[in-house]
């Protein structure tokens, strides 16, 4: 898995894309929310940059495992390394807020999305849960 500079928009957006792809299916609603919300956030990458990041993530995920219909989440040590690229508390909060909105965009929280969000909260030791409030 490629690495990005700590606390960079690229590192943060890759985590959002990982949540979106965690169930191996990205709905149109999730994609729309993903593109709209990251652009309006402090992450604010250009659509071309976002597309390139998502493409790289997909290539990395598919290189690591690749049975159709399987969840695309990498092993926990890899996820931990990706999460550790975002260690600024404010950025972690922003990423988690956006990740939860993206995961719930289609009205359903798949198992892979739930596991990814829970892992993010545990790793970053935060209890933010938008949908429970």
| Closest residue by Cα to residue 9 from 123, 91, 80 | 91
pLDDT, one tens digit per residue, over 6-23 is 999 889 988 988 888 887
- Measured CA to CA, the distance from residue 73 to residue 15 in angstroms comes to 11
Q: Please give the structure tokens belonging to residue 49.
A: 């940059």
Whole-prediction pTM value? 0.78
| Closest residue by Cα to residue 26 from 125, 106, 116, 117 | 106
**pLDDT score recorded for residue 88:** 93
**pLDDT score recorded for residue 133:** 41
Integer angstrom CA distances of residue 28 from 1, 82, 129: 26, 25, 23
Q: Please give the structure tokens belonging to residue 131.
A: 């949908």
Consecutive sets of 10 residues in the chain, 133 residues long: mean pLDDT of each? 88 88 78 72 73 76 58 81 94 92 88 92 73 44
Count Cβ atoms within 10 A of the Cβ of residue 25 and give its class: 0-12 exposed, 13-18 middle, 19 or more buried: middle
């Amino acid at each position: 898995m490629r690495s990005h500079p700590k606390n960079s928009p690229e590192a943060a957006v890759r985590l959002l894309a990982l949540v979106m792809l965690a169930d191996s299916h990205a709905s149109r609603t999730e994609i729309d929310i993903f593109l709209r919300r990251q652009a309006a956030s402090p992450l604010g990458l250009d659509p071309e940059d976002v597309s390139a990041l998502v493409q790289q993530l997909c290539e990395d995920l598919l290189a690591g495992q690749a049975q159709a219909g399987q969840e695309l989440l990498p092993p926990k040590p890899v996820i931990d390394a990706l999460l550790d690229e975002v260690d600024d508390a404010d950025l972690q909060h922003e990423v988690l807020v956006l990740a939860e909105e993206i995961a719930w965009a289609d009205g359903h929280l798949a198992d892979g999305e739930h596991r990814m969000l829970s892992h993010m909260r545990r790793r970053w030791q935060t209890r933010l849960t938008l949908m429970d409030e």
